[in-house]
Amino acid sequence: MEFNYKSNGTAQPSFTSTHLERLAAMNDAPADAEQVIKNTAANIFAGGSNTVQEELDAVLGGVRLPEFEDMAALPYMIAAYKEAMRWHPLLPLGVAHATTQDDVIDGYFIPKGAIIFLAGFGPDIGKFDPGRFMESGRRDPGQTGAFGYGRRVCPGRYMAENSLFIAVASILRNFDIKPARDSSGNEAMPEYDWTSGIFSSPTHYQCTIKPRSKAAEERILSIPAEG
């Protein structure tokens, strides 16, 4: 059966389209790659979902923890943490630089010695929208902006992104993070602000973090404590 996912040209970017496009661009794809994509997509669909946790469950099955080899199979999770970094970077203005000579950029004269800061840009910059990093032509997946741009871009970005991948995937695989409950027992979205300064992080807020299931609790307890 032909796996025709965009016959009328209206397919929304998704787990399936992202993987099939990558597969089409590969010369040496394994023979069963398309079948694996079909089966995984079917699992996600059966789960009725498009959330990070459901993607993780579909890819990892009932038992195991995420590994770096799972990266290619978790495009939504990767798009979500990239979007978190874009949405509110730790250094919202980046690190200041100065021009070494007069320049003209897009018709604007920038004199030698001008101090240059980064600024968020693009449509709907305040909206949390992981689709930016999944839909081709919207945003270069390599450019969250959180690591700066150009010649002085952060050289630790690959290590940082890999650490984020494994930490976020492992946490969301095992824990539910939800708003704290108010005095009536209802979940209440936390109110928080951001610290101001070169580094900006959320101010104090409350949430609940619980193992997602008995199986998750056992997985967590089976990991030997460090130290």
To the question of whether residue 207 is assigned a binding role by annotation, the answer is no
Query: Which range touches ligand HEM (CB under 6 A), out of 30-38, 60-68, 74-82, 156-164?
Result: 156-164
Tokens 């101010």 map to which residue? 203
How far apart, in whole angstroms, are the C-alpha atoms of residue 49 and residue 63?
Answer: 19
Query: Which range touches ligand HEM (CB under 6 A), out of 5-13, 43-51, 142-150, 176-184?
Result: 142-150
Residue number, 86 or 139, with CB nearest to ligand HEM: 86
Other beta carbons within 10 angstroms of residue 92's beta carbon come to: 18
User: Residue of minimal CB distance from ligand HEM?
Assistant: 156
Site string for ligand HEM, 6-45 (x = CB under 6 A): ----------------------------------------
If one asks whether residue 64 binds ligand HEM (CB under 6 A), the answer comes out as no
If one asks whether residue 156 binds ligand HEM (CB under 6 A), the answer comes out as yes
Residue number, 13 or 92, with CB nearest to ligand HEM: 92
> CB of 21 within 8 A of CB of 10?
no
> CB of 187 within 8 A of CB of 180?
yes
Structure tokens belonging to residue 56: 């993780």
Tokens 């999770």 map to which residue? 77
Identify residues 77-116 at the interface with ligand HEM (CB under 6 A): 90-91, 94-95
How far apart, in whole angstroms, are the C-alpha atoms of residue 83 and residue 122?
Answer: 13
Whose CA is closest to 40, among 24, 25, 20?
Answer: 20
User: Where along the sequence are the contacts to ligand HEM (CB under 6 A)?
Assistant: 90-91, 94-95, 146-148, 152-156, 159-160
